Structure 1
């Protein structure tokens, strides 16, 4: 900055004032310049204490992901609000598992409506052969819908989830596709450190590896490095024989998916996901500590113990000391006396004890907890009524909270379907067509044809109903006005399938008429006579 004559005079006569003058001139550069006067201000006292150290997605996310995962899992296991938030999301996003509803583009494929419906029904039956049994799970423990719950809850806790798609032939099973859900920790860089420059790893020429995700020179994910067991397991700590397997994201010759990665990215260039609880971990831990302290204080205040001080020394057994020693004396510290429920303990002459009134439970506990839950819920896009499972407000407020929550659930469900359910469904369908169990001409020749056959919707669980009569009336009016379809309304209200329901209702009506004829033959004959007249 050029200095004028006055500045030079100040420097010669009053150096301190010259420094202040220069600092003030520098500060003026940040004033009245958009964010420089607000969020980016460097001179206001309110902003000087704000420590910030920004970096790329690797410095901000991947370098901290191990700590975030472990703290997120710890919060889930020990903080009730955290467990409620994750379980609530799991229940409302995937519930018992998302069911596929094939949506074949019959018009593009040249199929009639009847042919399209028939093929969709056949796909559903074939998919059930694979998805409804534990054989679809590589571990053999749960069907495809249980795997959805496992993968989604792991995604919430760890930030992302992975599933390998190996082929394993088994006697009596028509399909060889298997799904192996893996915890996020197992996808990690070999030997525990990333490679940020081209090098050779385990005989492979790699360009970049960050937290087990390998990318090429263009930044595209090309492979994942999978550890043979959990890096944090006890056996891993005692045995250094950890091994990593490089799994290509897609087969080089076929383009088949070898592994699916469930992730919601927050920043460009991000390769690993952030646990859902990450923004509120500090608040959750503090809330958990506060709750634990309140519980301990309430328990201690409820344990009223009386200490009796005799006027003179005596060898008699203290009055009221009927409890066995192990109830009053700490087994590990024989010199300490524990409080008990209604216990009476004698003291030696001259010894006194005073009780402090703890004033528990704290009268402000509920209000403080509710305020914290509101902030936590806002960050997680879960209304406090939903986290607490308490709808004590008006009908309109409760309905508004549920509608806002369902919008968030719809976004989460779409992300999970796109990254887990649909890719696995497409791999299964490709195997079904290859095994000739489903006829799909041109499936492997034209990507457009394959896309037309692979269309599928994954309706989620039914929405919570606060006033079924009003909601049914509103749904009926939307269908009549053409704003919605019977299929969409059925999926939202009950999670069912409208066409399937209609076919079932026809069958039920037929059976009811048969039962009515058996129970009242005269009525049936009368109706028949009237019809012939």
Structure 2
């Protein structure tokens, strides 16, 4: 209270209270006030407390929609394609020598061994690395998290499928019980942390709680954090477990599914042609004679038919059909736009509608790619980089790879991770733009190759072999510029310079 309020309070307490109330209303945020039209729902609980009772329900709803709802299935299919892609996340090793250049031989050895391990990277040996990554990505986005136990070195009862003793046992998040909490030992929702919230171990169920055996036991085992990979979709600071990507649009998706189902049923009912006979006034009704049995009447439908068997006062009517609903598509599209906005996707990808203009499609593709890139980088940070580094460490420790003396030890684990990139809408324009950037020095050849999801070193080796084979067979193409100009395999330095100047349009005077 100010001085005036304090002076008036003993004499006029009601007026002072009204003044204070009015002052608080003026100073408060309008959005913080609960009104008839604004309920102002609040979330005061921590991230862990918020998910404690809702995580299992959200996860199970998303799984059911992925099983039964075509829109949700297509949404996750597209996220798999844009985050991981068909060939998976490509890993390009870039170990450096002490002079700062890439050690090509060691990088090639790593790449060859990594490709062999990628054929059967997980414990069962049923999935390739791209298949494993797509499955983990789908589980991560749909369920909110995914787990994997690292099988390194000698593991009792397990035989490794490769010379590198490293494999991954994939686990659904159900193996990490959200109900298991023991604050005395630092365990919250199955994850054990120290006083600084650093993860120390995971407490996993020995069996899936929903498997066919009907095992309801909650026996757990403690797995150190060094042997686990936990990829989680988190939305709040300090959040222990991940939440499904569709958590904010679940109700809308369920409503769309129910509404479309109702419209389909209504359309089927309307498609069944039904007619009725209007009897007319009571005095027009002629009762049957004694013993007369009147059979039910039917009218054959045919073009130009004339119905002349009606009784006095009767009329033929038809039940009108107002289906399909002409407003269904517009309503559905608006709802799908909201679904796309809440799931880091794009409307065209969710609805499979590509009828916009070129500019609109490109703008949507560019903005949508930002969301895909974010999820892709999270997947690389959570999953791909730890997997590659642990595999490489085990490959070196087991003797499958020997680090050459010329490699800088600090760069052994260096690698470039490449996922799906934004597709080209107009290949001619895109290729021209890249050509100008390379010629101006604002991009390099490797960047162009990676933009098309290719490995630069592999492409270079393939091109070298291809050019050599073409020259041997007497074939000359525009890509072999030197051979076009000089008609021989190796031009000298002066010829190379003149050819380069001619290719870039530089006209140098004679020296």
Q: In which range does the TM-score fall when normalised by the shorter chain?
A: 0.7 to 0.9
Structure 2 residue corresponding to 1:425, chosen from 370, 380, 388:
388
Match of 2:74 among 84, 97, 110: 84
Does residue 147 (structure 1) correspond to residue 132 (structure 2)? The answer is yes
2:371 to 391, 404, 408: 408
Counterpart check, 1:488 vs 2:447? yes
Match of 2:54 in 1: 64
Give SS of 2:62's match: helix
Distance 1:31 1:78, change over 3 A: farther
Worse-superposed segment, 302-311 or 260-269: 302-311
For residues 442 and 262 of structure 2, the distance between their equivalents in structure 1, rounded to whole angstroms, comes to 53
In structure 2, the residue corresponding to 1:247 is in which secondary structure?
strand
Displacement of 1:261 in angstroms is: 0.8
User: How many Å apart are 1:267 and its aligned residue?
Assistant: 1.5
> Residues 182 and 9 from structure 1, CA distance in 2 versus in 1: closer, same or farther, beyond 3 angstroms?
same
- The answer as to 2:236 corresponding to 1:219 is no
- Please name the residue that 1:130 is paired with: 117
CA distance in 1, matches of 2:340, 2:193: 35
SS in 1 for 2:248: helix
Deviations 1:401-439 (A, max 9, x none): 111111211111111011111111111101111122212
Q: Distance in 2 between matches of 1:383 and 1:430?
A: 39
Tell me, yes or no, if structure 1 residue 435 matches structure 2 residue 404.
no
Change (3 A) 1:24 1:105: farther
Distance 1:366 1:509 in 2: 54
- Are the equivalent residues in 1 in contact too, given 2:165–2:398 (CA < 8 A)? no
Instruction: Determine the C-alpha separation between the residues in 2 that align with 1:213 and 1:505.
Output: 50
2:463 equivalent in structure 1: 505
Q: Which has the higher helix share?
A: 1
Q: Distance in 2 between matches of 1:187 and 1:450?
A: 37
- Give CA deviations for 1:25-60 in whole Å, capped at 9, x if unaligned: 22422424xxx3233235x5543x223242111122
Q: SS state of the match for residue 29, structure 1?
A: helix
Does residue 301 of the first structure (1) align with residue 270 of the second (2)? yes
- Closer, same or farther: CA 90–515 of 1 in aligned 2, 3 Å: same
Alignment correspondent of 1:292: 261
Aligned to 2:309: none
Q: Give the deviation of 1:123 after TM superposition.
A: 0.5
**Matches of 2:107 and 2:146, distance apart in 1:** 30
Q: Distance in 1 between matches of 2:297 and 2:181?
A: 68
Deviation at 1:63, TM superposition (A): 3.4
Cα distance in 2 for residues equivalent to 1:171 and 1:162: 20
Match of 1:333 in 2: none
Cα distance in 1 for residues equivalent to 2:128 and 2:222: 27
Aligned mates of 2:94, 2:101 — CA distance in 1: 14
Change (3 A) 1:320 1:355: closer
Give 1:269 shift: 1.2
1:305 Cα deviation (Å)? 4.1
Distance change in 2, residues 1:172/1:422 (3 Å): closer
CA drift of 1:279 comes to 1.0
**SS of residue matched to 1:178:** strand
Q: Distance in 1 between matches of 2:260 and 2:351?
A: 15
Contact 1:277 1:380 in 2 (8 A): yes
Describe the shift of the 1:55–1:451 C-alpha distance in structure 2 as closer, same or farther (beyond 3 A). Answer: farther
The partner residue of 1:452 within 396, 408, 411 is: 411
1:467 maps to 2:426? yes
How many angstroms does 1:8 deviate by? 5.5
Q: What's the C-alpha RMSD, in Å, of the aligned pairs?
A: 3.3
User: Aligned equivalents of 1:105 and 1:164: distance in 2?
Assistant: 31
Q: Deviations over 1:238-283 (max 9, x none)?
A: x333321111102xxxxxxx01111232222111011000011111
Measured after TM superposition, the shift of residue 458 of structure 1 is: 1.7
Question: Residue 194 of structure 1 corresponds to which residue in structure 2?
Answer: 181
1:223 Cα deviation after fit:
0.8
Residue in structure 2 matching 1:266, options 228, 235, 254: 235
Aligned to 1:515: 473
Pairing 1:164–2:149 present:
yes
Written as runs of structure 1 = structure 2, the 5 A alignment for 1:301-320 is 301-306=270-275, 314=293, 319=298
1:25 to 15, 20, 24: 20
Residue aligned with 2:365, SS: helix
Per the alignment, residue 93 of structure 1 pairs with: 83
In structure 2, C-alpha distance between the alignment counterparts of 1:285 and 1:359, rounded to whole Å: 25
Whether the aligned pair in 2 keeps the contact of 1:98 and 1:459 (CA below 8 Å) is: yes
- Cα 1:146–1:171 change in 2 (3 A) is closer
1:227 offset after TM fit, Å? Answer: 0.9
Q: Does structure 1 residue 102 correspond to structure 2 residue 93?
A: yes
